[in-house]
Amino acid sequence: MRQSLPSGKRLRGEPASPDILFQAALAVLAALSVLALAALLLLVLLRDSLPAITAFGFDFLLSTEWNPVAGEFGALPFIYGTIVSSLLALVIGVPLSLGIAVYLAEIAPAKVRAVLTPVIELLAAIPSVIIGLWGIFVLAPFVREHLAEPLMEHAGFLPIFSGPAYGYSVLTASLVLAIMIIPIISSISREAILAVPRLQKEGALALGATRFEMLMSVVLPYARGAIFGAVMLGLGRAIGETMAVTMVIGNSPKLFTSLLHPGYTMAAVIANEFTEATEDLYLAALIEIGLILFLISMLVNVLARLITRRYRRVAGGV
């Protein structure tokens, strides 16, 4: 934002005016205030987690022991659970999202498109606690009875599908997360696909490509950057999601191998234990988990920005 305004003007070759100065100053101030807020957040997280950082050092990231009674804290099961559940959500959600995006942008008749597009986007507006409740009452029993049983029976020799299954599991959490990130990924991807110039598509068709070939060779490569950015935004959402995950993941701080077993995420442990954490070290350990979560989310978002920006430059040059 802060760069696009002035540079956009210059691209169009307008002469510089005092307006530009004003806009630039405003943009810089706005950018600074955001930076200042982020820095402040980081600072507070650092300050409040200091007791845990000094007590456990780097071991905090590697230890699997989480025992508030004994005052021993390690974040590995939570980091692991967050990463596995989020990536699995991408594995489930991204193909579906792309299918939705391509269908809505290229294939669906105008009437279907007019109905489906807002419905998909509405999904993003459902509060996560509602999705979590649905997860408890509908999805978890469904996973236990109709998904885990056949998986264990036919693929149980794979460690990731070994039993027993209770329904409250990493798999259930990832399904819930997938549902929550599909609207984000599919709507951004749909817009990227719509932005593909008509001439290019027609050119491909004129060269004798089928519709499928046109999609694969022209549309998706062209929109690739934006789609990747959308996926990263979805990942960011999945990593930070708290309520819905807490309600279905089973909350067990173990390094699970089976996706049918319970796990735990960073956001979930903070939500679960913060209110009753009375000891200082305990509180600091929870805040340090918050700090790690903050850094990982920042990283994912920065990556998403970089990728989408690069895509914009490429697209702008065409």
Partner 1 sequence: MKKAYVLAVLLVALAAACTSSGGKDTGGGEEKREITINGAGASFPYPLIMKWSQEYYRLKGVKINYQSIGSGGGIRQTLAKTVDFGASDAPLSEEEFSRMQGILHIPETLGSVAVVYNLPGVEELRLTGEVLADIYLGKITRWNDPRIAELNPEAELPDEQIVVVRRSDGSGTTFVFSDYLSSVSQEWSQKVGKGKSLSWPVGLGGKGNEGVAGLVKQNPYSIGYVELAYAIENGMSYASLKNRAGRFVKPSIAGTSAAAAGAAPELPKGYESWAQVSIVNAPGEDAYPISSFTYLLVYRDLSVIPGMTEAKARALVEFLWWAVHDGQKYAPELHYAPLPEQVVKLNEETIRLITYGGKPLLQVPE
Residues 146-175 that bind partner 1 (CB under 8 A): 164, 166-168
Produce one character per residue of 74-113: b if its CB has 16 or more CB atoms within 10 Å, e if not. Answer: bbbbbbbbbbbbbebbbebbbeebbebbbebbbebeeeeb
CB nearer to partner 1: pick between 105 and 139: 139
CB nearer to partner 1: pick between 217 and 257: 257
We find the least distance from the C-beta atom of residue 237 to partner 1, in angstroms, to be: 20
We find the least distance from the C-beta atom of residue 62 to partner 1, in angstroms, to be: 17
Residues 255-274 that bind partner 1 (CB under 8 A): 262, 264, 268, 271-274
What is the C-alpha to C-alpha distance for residues 100 and 83, in angstroms, rounded to an integer?
A: 25
What is the C-alpha to C-alpha distance for residues 274 and 263, in angstroms, rounded to an integer?
A: 18
| Interface residue with partner 1, options 16, 31, 137, 213 (CB under 8 A) | 137
Q: Name the one residue in this structure whose structure tokens are 């004003």.
A: 22
| Interface residue with partner 1, options 51, 52, 56, 66 (CB under 8 A) | 66
Q: Is 57 in the site for partner 1 (CB under 8 A)?
A: no
Please provide the distance, in angstroms rounded to a whole number, between the alpha carbons at the two ends of the chain: 21
What is the C-alpha to C-alpha distance for residues 169 and 184, in angstroms, rounded to an integer?
A: 24
Which three-class secondary structure state does DSSP give residue 207? coil
Q: Are 263 and 81 in contact (CB under 8 A)?
A: yes
Helices 4-11 + 18-56 axis angle, to 10? 150
We find the least distance from the C-beta atom of residue 278 to partner 1, in angstroms, to be: 5
Q: Is 283 in the site for partner 1 (CB under 8 A)?
A: yes
We find the least distance from the C-beta atom of residue 46 to partner 1, in angstroms, to be: 20
CB nearer to partner 1: pick between 97 and 251: 251
Q: Are 63 and 285 in contact (CB under 8 A)?
A: no
What is the C-alpha to C-alpha distance for residues 67 and 81, in angstroms, rounded to an integer?
A: 17
Binding mask 85-114 for partner 1 (x = CB under 8 A): ------------------------------
Q: Is 59 in the site for partner 1 (CB under 8 A)?
A: no
What is the C-alpha to C-alpha distance for residues 79 and 94, in angstroms, rounded to an integer?
A: 22
Residues 211-250 that bind partner 1 (CB under 8 A): 246-247, 250
Q: Is 127 in the site for partner 1 (CB under 8 A)?
A: no
Which three-class secondary structure state does DSSP give residue 67? strand
What is the C-alpha to C-alpha distance for residues 306 and 191, in angstroms, rounded to an integer?
A: 18
We find the least distance from the C-beta atom of residue 143 to partner 1, in angstroms, to be: 11
Of 172, 178, 173, the C-alpha closest to 93 is 178
CB nearer to partner 1: pick between 147 and 188: 147
We find the least distance from the C-beta atom of residue 290 to partner 1, in angstroms, to be: 15
Chain centroid to CA 30: how far? 26
Size of the site for partner 1 (CB under 8 A): 33
DSSP state of 279: S
Q: Is 252 in the site for partner 1 (CB under 8 A)?
A: yes
Q: Is 197 in the site for partner 1 (CB under 8 A)?
A: no
Q: Are 63 and 76 in contact (CB under 8 A)?
A: yes
Segment interacting with partner 1, rule: CB under 8 A, options 107-115, 189-197, 207-215, 251-259: 251-259
CB nearer to partner 1: pick between 82 and 186: 82
Q: Cα angle vertex 56, ends 52, 61, to 5°?
A: 100
Tell me which residues touch partner 1 (CB under 8 A): 65-70, 136-137, 140-141, 144, 164, 166-168, 246-247, 250-253, 262, 264, 268, 271-278, 283
